[in-house]
Chains A and B, each alone.
Chain A
Amino acid sequence: MDDAVAEHRPLRILIADDSDSDRLILKTLLKRLGHEVLDASNGLDAVSLFRQDAPDLVLLDALMPVMDGMEAARQIKSLAGERLVPLIFLTSLSEAGALARCLEAGGDDFLEKPYNRTIIEAKINAFNRMRLMHQALSDQRDLIRERNRQLTEEQEIAKRVFDNVAHSGCLDASNIRYHASPHSIFNGDVLFASPRPAGGMLIFMGDFTGHGLPAAIGAMPVAEIFYGMASKGFNGQDVLREINQKLRRILPTGMFCCGAMIEADFKRNQIQVWNGGLPDGWLIRSSGDRLALPSQHLPLGILVSDRFNAEFQRFGAGPGDCLMMMTDGFLEAADSSGNVFGEQGVADALAHPGNCEHPFDAMMSAVYRFTGGVKDGDDLTLCCLEMSNQAGFSALPDRAVPSSLAGPAEWRCSYEIREQTLGEFNPLPLLLHICMEVPGLRRRSGEIYTLLAELYNNALEHGVLELPSEWKRSPEGFGRYYLERKRRLGNVEGHYIRFTLHHSLKPGGGRLRVECEDSGQGFDVQCHPGATSGAHPEGRKRYAGRGLLLLKRLSESVSFHERGNHVEIVYDWHVSGAAANPGDVAR
């Protein structure tokens, strides 16, 4: 609206006075000033004219027959509602109490008799400016209200889309406790969890800079990468590298994502953590011992790929041990006087859990106590993963839609990785991918991945690197094991690991043969405690006993060739249901 024009627009003015001569004077004065005038000789007529013609401004005599000015003022103000209609009393009253009653009834000002042309004009202009300002403010407020409604509606729609892509994965698993506001994605917080094909879990917590839709948009590619790669068997490092590279490419300068990745392996009793910019995570032992896991990296989306360090901290962690991560919102939770919960609040909550058995409950009740109740739409995100035997085998949701194309049935392939690539590249997702081309194997991805992973890790760590698995049994040895692993990976000249996969159909199913050869020294097959019944305690332990038992349980047969550095397993699959024929397989 152009106020300069609007201010000089003629006004519609209602006047009410029982004195005919006074009314005539005022009406003529106002008309001469260019305004449109409605007039009444008592309060009742004034109210009905107001209702009918909605004037911009009202001039009322205080004392009138039928209905006096005070009562008329009250009714007019009530009819005007949110609209500001300046109401000026015409009066020759001089007693303070009477004037005050006029204002209480809703009057905004007075005009004294005898009328003064100049003052009348000045007052009308002043009140008109006020009226226009009020109108502008109301319009702005309505506009903001409307925009806000629109924004909320858009966020609701966006949230539905996000929920499909950035779903919470397996956050409902029995060993995960978490708190995240339903709209946390618009605070830039994300929390994803996915089971790994061979058991174990990946959890990603992220906190994007900013708020609202811009913060939420980054969540989409991260979710796609996370769930896509995790279900294909990629490890935490690979997923992190991909997320970092993607975010660096798509996010504008100054926007990034503080994040943490947790990779839990319940079979090996191992947990790995990467923290880039989130507050300290905590490893809380079942014994009550606590270990802080401070951020050791820059947030995601900042460094170029070759400077990005995706190295995880690795810890042995058994049943009952917990890993806890949180976003900034937790530390920034404030009480009514603006004090923040802070790192001290976290430390106190963990040190004095009170009656809470679970550290998650201790944290949540401490922050509730501190803030006096967490409000809706808070941006607290807290996640606690408990190491648990069952959790690893929670059913993997089979989201992949089976291909309608018939996959390959008779095939063979050989894949060898050599020398420094042994330390740099994880071939398992690729090998799994090849196997998953066979429709009949698709629903067995967990078992296939487990077999491939056992063979590969064994060939790499024990075959090529010759690391003794006993080391991992003590906390000191655990650290030494992984230090040594890293050191020896730098010196793998001439070494290789070769996989040969061979698939063929059989009546009612098919058979996958997997051979894994490595360039290591091998071991005395006869002496391995799990390989023969006549176990020899002093044999070189190529296989941790558990790993071999797992291979045996999952496959038809396990055999060792040559000097023990060539393992062959046979894995049979069958079409589920009765009277199947190979034709069904391809469907």
Chain B
Amino acid sequence: MSDKPHLDEEALAELQDVMEDEFDVLIQTYLADSRDRIRSLREALKANDSDAFIKTAHSFKGSCVNIGAPRLGELSLNAEMAGKESRLEEAQALLDAIDEEFRQVTQRLESLLVG
């Protein structure tokens, strides 16, 4: 489905370098933030609010690529595009894929945490 890796090791190494002691905080923040966004996506889809769906997917994509989760970023982009092109039936399938990928990413990121 996608040839992008779950995590971008190089990007994460750079983030570790930049964040130093705050790397753990960053990861926790990202994970909490992402859970909120995925919940928002579901609610928007349920309410058939395509505008909220597109915006949330867009922002989610940004934070995914920044943290070094390119495959999740790509799925978010696909969700954003589906929203823009009013293919909401596809959106449901994409959301399920996002859920699954987020589980993968969470597992891998948590393994990086010191604590």
A24 adjacent to B58 (CB under 8 Å)? no
A27-60 vs B: 1/0 string, CB under 8 Å? 0110010000000000000000000000000000
Within 8 A of B (CB), among A253-290: none
Q: Which residue of A lies closest to B76 (CB)?
A: A92
Cα–Cα distance between A18 and B55 once the two chains are bound (Å):
11
Cα–Cα distance between A72 and B7 once the two chains are bound (Å):
34
A15-28 vs B: 1/0 string, CB under 8 Å? 00011111011001
B18 adjacent to A29 (CB under 8 Å)? yes
CB distance from B83 to the nearest CB of A (A): 13
A18 adjacent to B59 (CB under 8 Å)? yes
Contacting A21 at CB < 8 Å: which of B14, B29, B55?
B29
Cβ-based interface call for B78 (8 A): no
A28 adjacent to B63 (CB under 8 Å)? no
CB distance from B47 to the nearest CB of A (A): 16
B59 adjacent to A114 (CB under 8 Å)? no
Q: List 24 A-B contacts (CB under 8 A).
A: A19-B63, A20-B32, A21-B30, A21-B63, A21-B66, A21-B67, A22-B62, A24-B22, A24-B25, A25-B18, A25-B66, A28-B19, A28-B22, A28-B26, A29-B18, A32-B18, A61-B62, A92-B61, A92-B62, A92-B65, A113-B66, A114-B11, A114-B66, A114-B68
Cβ-based interface call for A471 (8 A): no
Cβ-based interface call for B33 (8 A): yes
Within 8 A of A (CB), among B38-66: 55, 58-59, 61-63, 65-66
Cβ-based interface call for A115 (8 A): yes
A72-115 vs B: 1/0 string, CB under 8 Å? 00000000000000000001110000000000000000000111
Cα–Cα distance between A25 and B26 once the two chains are bound (Å):
7
Cβ-based interface call for B105 (8 A): no
B19 adjacent to A25 (CB under 8 Å)? yes
Residues of B within 8 A of A (CB): 11, 14-15, 18-19, 22, 25-26, 29-30, 32-33, 55, 58-59, 61-63, 65-68
CB distance from B50 to the nearest CB of A (A): 15
CB distance from A435 to the nearest CB of B (A): 101
Instruction: Provide the residues of chain B in CB contact with A24, threshold 8 Å.
Output: 19, 22, 25-26, 29
Instruction: Provide the residues of chain A in CB contact with B14, threshold 8 Å.
Output: 117
CB distance from A6 to the nearest CB of B (A): 26
Residues of A within 8 A of B (CB): 18-22, 24-25, 28-29, 32, 61, 63, 91-93, 113-115, 117
B18 adjacent to A63 (CB under 8 Å)? no
Instruction: Provide the residues of chain B in CB contact with A29, threshold 8 Å.
Output: 18
> Which interface residue of B32, B59, B61 has the most chain A CB atoms within 10 A?
B59
Instruction: Provide the residues of chain B in CB contact with A113, threshold 8 Å.
Output: 62-63, 65-66
A21 adjacent to B26 (CB under 8 Å)? yes
CB distance from A549 to the nearest CB of B (A): 109
Q: Which residue of B lies closest to A32 (CB)?
A: B18
Cα–Cα distance between A447 and B57 once the two chains are bound (Å):
106
Cα–Cα distance between A61 and B19 once the two chains are bound (Å):
21
Q: Which residue of B lies closest to A62 (CB)?
A: B58
Contacting B62 at CB < 8 Å: which of A19, A32, A117?
A19
CB distance from A40 to the nearest CB of B (A): 15
Instruction: Contacts A19-B33, A63-B58 given; indicate if A114 touches B26 (C-beta within 8 A).
Output: no
A22 adjacent to B66 (CB under 8 Å)? yes
Instruction: Provide the residues of chain A in CB contact with B15, threshold 8 Å.
Output: 25
CB distance from B10 to the nearest CB of A (A): 11
Instruction: Provide the residues of chain B in CB contact with A117, threshold 8 Å.
Output: 14, 18
Cα–Cα distance between A28 and B61 once the two chains are bound (Å):
21
Cα–Cα distance between A309 and B59 once the two chains are bound (Å):
91
Q: Which residue of A lies closest to B17 (CB)?
A: A117
Given contacts A19-B33, A20-B32, 13 further A-B contacts (CB under 8 A): A19-B66, A20-B29, A21-B29, A21-B63, A22-B62, A22-B63, A25-B18, A25-B19, A28-B19, A92-B65, A114-B11, A115-B66, A117-B18
B62 adjacent to A28 (CB under 8 Å)? no
Instruction: Provide the residues of chain B in CB contact with A32, threshold 8 Å.
Output: 18
Cα–Cα distance between A14 and B46 once the two chains are bound (Å):
36
A63 adjacent to B55 (CB under 8 Å)? yes
Instruction: Contacts A28-B18, A114-B65, A114-B68 given; indicate if A19 touches B25 (C-beta within 8 A).
Output: no
Instruction: Provide the residues of chain A in CB contact with B18, threshold 8 Å.
Output: 25, 28-29, 32, 117
A63 adjacent to B59 (CB under 8 Å)? yes
Cα–Cα distance between A92 and B30 once the two chains are bound (Å):
17
Q: Which residue of B lies closest to A115 (CB)?
A: B66
CB distance from B28 to the nearest CB of A (A): 9
Instruction: Provide the residues of chain A in CB contact with B68, threshold 8 Å.
Output: 114
CB distance from A231 to the nearest CB of B (A): 88
Cα–Cα distance between A22 and B63 once the two chains are bound (Å):
6
CB distance from A449 to the nearest CB of B (A): 98
B11 adjacent to A21 (CB under 8 Å)? no
Instruction: Provide the residues of chain B in CB contact with A91, threshold 8 Å.
Output: 62
CB distance from B4 to the nearest CB of A (A): 13
Cα–Cα distance between A32 and B22 once the two chains are bound (Å):
12
Cα–Cα distance between A32 and B21 once the two chains are bound (Å):
13
Q: Which residue of B lies closest to A91 (CB)?
A: B62
Cα–Cα distance between A25 and B15 once the two chains are bound (Å):
8
For the complex of A and B, the 4 pairs showing the least CB-CB separation, nearest first, are A21-B30, A19-B63, A92-B62, A114-B65
Instruction: Provide the residues of chain A in CB contact with B22, threshold 8 Å.
Output: 24, 28
Cα–Cα distance between A61 and B67 once the two chains are bound (Å):
16
CB distance from A422 to the nearest CB of B (A): 104
Contacting B33 at CB < 8 Å: which of A21, A61, A63, A114?
A21
Q: Which residue of A lies closest to B77 (CB)?
A: A92
Cα–Cα distance between A91 and B68 once the two chains are bound (Å):
16
Instruction: Provide the residues of chain B in CB contact with A25, threshold 8 Å.
Output: 15, 18-19, 26, 66-67
